[in-house]
Structure 1
Amino acid sequence: MTYLHSMQAETDGIRAILPAKWRSLDGIVGVHWEAEAQAGANGYYLSPDPRIVFFFNDVSSQIRVADRENQLGRNDRGMARAIYVPAGVPMWTRFSARHRFSHLDLHLHQDRLMRYLAPSLGASKARSTIKRPVEVQDVGPVAALSRLVVDELSTDTRHPLFAESLVGSIATALLDIPRDDEAIQSGRLTQAQMNRLTSHLATHGDQRITVAEMAEVVGLSESWFATVFRETTGKTPLQWQLSRRIDAAQDLLCNGSLTIADIAAQLGFSDQAHLTKVFRQVVGETPAAWRRSRVQS
């Protein structure tokens, strides 16, 4: 199917420095941008379909990205070289410095992506896979595949199937496709599964995540997940989640000017007293005392 994407994009301080190269394929639109952004430039993006963004240079120190507008400057992160954004997931960005960049946008009709994945994965696993966001800094073969796609955007010498196959290869290289047998065979979670959990927790830093939700993220039953998780980490899922939230609290205590009450609210604790109690249990001292010791050292 010929398909034209409809993404909402609001930018300020970002301009194209060359005309965009683009091509519409079967359920895919590829666009290559050469652009420049001023320090403080920002953007908001929301698409009803999944998309892949690949940067041809490292932008992690110049572009900050967040899942909510109020996280920019407080709980944002560096933009990875390659990202997969599921349908309906918003993204806010901010440039910390003036920067020229080159990137490939691949807009994918959700039905087209399902049609590509489901024959090999099954419909249920394919649906689960396309709902999981991915951010990858070590891009490996995706770099070479993306360059080939850019070449195909400006030429019409090959059959469109070639470009569509390249995009399919990028998707399968980048998407977080679980292998159910790995955890069962080893009795432990794989590093990829732990990475999925860490990423999921990072994008839901102000919420408590249930064990059932964590199990779904890695594609295991709740009972089996709880068993292999403890074998992998030495902690229960909820103990691990709490320790990660305390790690995040320590980062905010060190790197920002937020009050302890602000940090408690941002990380989903009921109030400052709740954060203080849990922080003391995990770290051995109160957040205020821990912050003072880091400032003085």
Structure 2
Amino acid sequence: MSYWHSMNWHTEGIRVVAPVKWRRFDGLVSVFWEAESQAGAKGYYLADDPRIMIFFNDVSSRIQMSNRNGGLSHYRPMTRAVYVPAGVPMWTSSRSMHRFSHLNLHMHKDRLLRFLSPSVGNSAALTALRRPVEIQDLGAIETLAGLLVDEISNPSKHAVYAESLVGSIVAGLLDIPEQDGEKANGRLTQAQMNRLVSRIDGLGDCRMSVAEMAAAVGLSESWFSNVFKQTTGKTPLQWQLGKRIDLAKKLLLEGDLTVADIAAQLGFSDQAHLTKVFRQVVGQTPAAWRRMQQTR
């Protein structure tokens, strides 16, 4: 398939700092960028076909993204890997000056269907292509992306090698439903859990309503609560509470914030509330736990 991606885009305050490296394959275009972004830099991107962005450094504290044009309330931290379905717009905004490198994979929809359908069925493949994905913990995807960048930069093998790397990245990143979807086994997929973890880790207080969590993975609130308990052994609010206590531990160790300051930052009603919950989960008060960690 002779293919070249079509995308409307505009950037301000972003400049390329090294020659762009790219290769064109069967229904695929792989592009590796190295760039520098100024504080306040902005970008707008809209592609006719699905695409994947993989960052080789953590930009979550520096770049914000949104799929809605408007105020900053719509923005969220940019994760290290993003799958953007065809026709979904993206706006970005940089908080500070920084350098970054990322791999862009532009893929013709029919090419992806030919790759996925024999294994998962046409319906499941179409469902996966419509679902956006955002993950922060890349795992093996980062290794695959690095191998693909090496092959783009210095081609040494048959094109099937690079195409197979793209296929593995797609299979590892996309939220592909099992059989008839999540209801087949009553559990969330790993991609859905990754999406939830990424979304809640991007919040300052690790707090989302059950309705917001359900919407993030494309399920009804009632069904989500059921399969979430089957997947994690906890209710959504119990799981969130554990994430907030983990964040409280991090704040206790990394800074000089008082327990009252941490309670306010994480949305507890007061210091006593945080202390009570912390003791229930950890077995010690925050102050005692901090002292114990500092003496190790």
Normalised to the residue count of structure 1, the TM-score between the two structures is 0.66
SS at match of 1:74: helix
* 8 Å CA contact 1:28, 1:109 repeated in 2: yes
In structure 2, the CA distance between the partners of 1:108 and 1:233, relative to structure 1 (3 Å rule), is same
- Residue 81 of structure 1 deviates from its aligned partner by 0.4
- Residue 191 of structure 1 deviates from its aligned partner by 6.5
Alignment partners' CA distance in 1, 2:106 and 2:227: 40
The code of the aligned residue for 2:81 comes to: A
Alignment partners' CA distance in 1, 2:64 and 2:41: 10
> Residue in 2 aligned with 1:3?
3
> Residue in 2 aligned with 1:145?
144
- Residue 177 of structure 1 deviates from its aligned partner by 1.2
> Residue in 1 aligned with 2:88?
89
SS at match of 1:217: coil
1:40 aligns with 2:34: no
In structure 2, the CA distance between the partners of 1:135 and 1:30, relative to structure 1 (3 Å rule), is same
> Residue in 2 aligned with 1:30?
30
Alignment partners' CA distance in 2, 1:227 and 1:38: 44
> Residue in 2 aligned with 1:77?
76
SS at match of 2:151: helix
In structure 2, the CA distance between the partners of 1:11 and 1:76, relative to structure 1 (3 Å rule), is same
* 8 Å CA contact 1:51, 1:86 repeated in 2: yes
1:172 aligns with 2:165: no
Per-residue CA deviations over 1:73-110 (Å, capped at 9, x if unaligned) read 22311100011000000000000000100000000011
* 8 Å CA contact 1:42, 1:94 repeated in 2: yes
- Residue 2 of structure 1 deviates from its aligned partner by 2.6
Unaligned 5+ runs, structure 2: 203-210, 231-235, 241-266, 271-296
Alignment of 1:232-243 (within 5 A): 232=228
Identical residues among aligned pairs (%): 52
Alignment partners' CA distance in 2, 1:165 and 1:43: 30
Q: Please, which moves more after superposition, 182-191 or 160-169?
A: 182-191
Alignment partners' CA distance in 2, 1:186 and 1:127: 20
> Residue in 1 aligned with 2:291?
none
* 8 Å CA contact 1:196, 1:217 repeated in 2: no
Unaligned 5+ runs, structure 1: 203-208, 235-239, 245-289
Q: Please, which moves more after superposition, 182-191 or 30-39?
A: 182-191
In structure 2, the CA distance between the partners of 1:231 and 1:112, relative to structure 1 (3 Å rule), is closer
> Residue in 1 aligned with 2:18?
18
* 8 Å CA contact 1:197, 1:217 repeated in 2: no
Q: Number of matched residues? A: 228
Alignment partners' CA distance in 1, 2:131 and 2:159: 28
* 8 Å CA contact 1:51, 1:84 repeated in 2: yes
Alignment of 1:156-195 (within 5 A): 156-180=155-179, 187=186, 189=188, 192-193=191-192
> Residue in 2 aligned with 1:217?
218
- Residue 178 of structure 1 deviates from its aligned partner by 2.0
Alignment partners' CA distance in 2, 1:154 and 1:231: 44
Alignment partners' CA distance in 1, 2:181 and 2:122: 20
- Residue 156 of structure 1 deviates from its aligned partner by 3.0
Alignment partners' CA distance in 1, 2:163 and 2:30: 10
